[in-house]
Amino acid sequence: MKLAMQVTDVAGGVLVHVIDSDTRRRAEVSRTLLALGVHAEIYEDTGEFLRMLPARGAVLLVESGEGDLAEFMESLRARQRYYPVSLYSDAPRPERVVRALREGALDYLAWPFEPALFEESLRKLNETGDRQRRLERVRADARARVEQLTGREREVLVSLLDGNSNKQIAALLDLSPRTVEIYRKNVMRKLDARSTSDAVRIGIYADLWELPVA
């Protein structure tokens, strides 16, 4: 895995983090970015990129061998991070382009970059990054709200995510329906939820969907 770029908003334009073990190509990529008015930061390998884990942005990754994208995406998932990704290579083969798109790439470019296609790819990456940043803000807010809940209140919320009624929640948690109603009101108040569906949405954004009910 020899080269990747991350695109993120900065004052006056776009910042691209270039990771490239090939000095000549790294210089060519930097010149290409400079011609587009894009500032480039340089890393020598993807290990350094993964250690740094920039807070947000998008990635342009050269596919130098089979499995590059899958390995990179798995490394990001293990670190609970997301970046919109586009790939490129010297001579993209149709089957590799299809596989990359199935694995989650937004685009696949041929190197050297055709200027118009490259600019369009950067635009798509940046727009996707903007949407992801908004989503991450929503998730962070949801997690902060859920952290206010007691353990039992959280269990009630998780059970609500499964579509259970108060009577079903009472049976699952070995509580009386009246007690469940009290917990449920506390959940709604602490989450500042206007409806059950609002509380469920917050729970989903807080990644409670897969948590088991005790």
> Could you give the CA distance from residue 27 to residue 133 in angstroms, rounded to a whole number?
30
CATH topology of domain 147-205: Arc Repressor Mutant, subunit A (1.10.10)
Which architecture does CATH list for 3-136? 3-Layer(aba) Sandwich (3.40)
Give exposure, 162-187, as e/b (b: 16+ Cβ within 10 Å).
eebebeebbebbebeeebbeebbebb
Q: Are 157 and 212 in contact (CB under 8 A)?
A: no
On the 0-12 / 13-18 / 19+ scale of CB atoms within 10 A, 88 is buried
Tell me the domain boundaries of the chain: 3-136, 147-205
In what helix (H) or strand (E) does residue 89 lie, and over which residues does it extend?
A: strand 85-89
**How many CB atoms are closer than 10 A to CB 27?**
13
Determine the distance from the C-alpha atom of residue 18 to the mean position of all C-alpha atoms in its chain, rounded to a whole number: 19
| pTM tops 0.75 | no
CA 128 to chain centre: 10
| pLDDT per residue rounded down to tens, the chain (214 residues) | 555 555 554 434 567 777 777 888 888 888 887 888 777 778 777 788 899 998 777 888 888 776 778 888 889 888 878 888 888 888 888 889 999 888 888 899 888 888 888 888 888 888 887 787 788 788 889 999 999 999 999 999 999 998 899 999 999 999 999 999 999 999 999 999 999 999 999 999 998 865 444 4
DSSP 75: H
Maximum distance among all Cα pairs of the chain, rounded to whole angstroms: 71
CB 179, CB 170: distance < 8 Å: yes
